[in-house]
Amino acid sequence: MLSEDSFIKPAAIERMRAGLAQSSSGSQIVVFPHVNHGFNADYRPSYDKTAAQSAWALALDWLRSHGV
């Protein structure tokens, strides 16, 4: 599902995913549906609290799983 972010093009996301698939980083790209660019910036009209909290939890989980 695509986001409403017109700043980052779907083709760029797919190129980044392809690059990650060739690495051993364990990283992934998560596209949040129905949110716009800058959804984690609480000072912008595009702020989406639910998506921001979810993204933060994913980031913390990744850091913990990589010993950071």
Residue 13 has a CB neighbour count (10 Å cut-off) of 15
The answer for 67, left when phi > 0, alpha when psi is -120 to 50, beta otherwise, is: left
Q: Does some domain include residue 22?
A: yes
Q: Does some domain include residue 1?
A: no
Domain range for 47: 10-65
The domain total for the chain is 1
Tell me, what's the pLDDT at 2? Answer: 57
Q: Does some domain include residue 5?
A: no
Among 68, 67, 62, residue whose Cα is nearest residue 30: 62
Q: Does some domain include residue 3?
A: no
Tens digit of pLDDT per residue, the chain (68 long)? 456 888 888 899 999 999 999 998 888 999 998 899 889 999 999 999 999 999 999 999 999 998 88
Q: Does some domain include residue 57?
A: yes
Tell me, what's the pLDDT at 16? Answer: 95
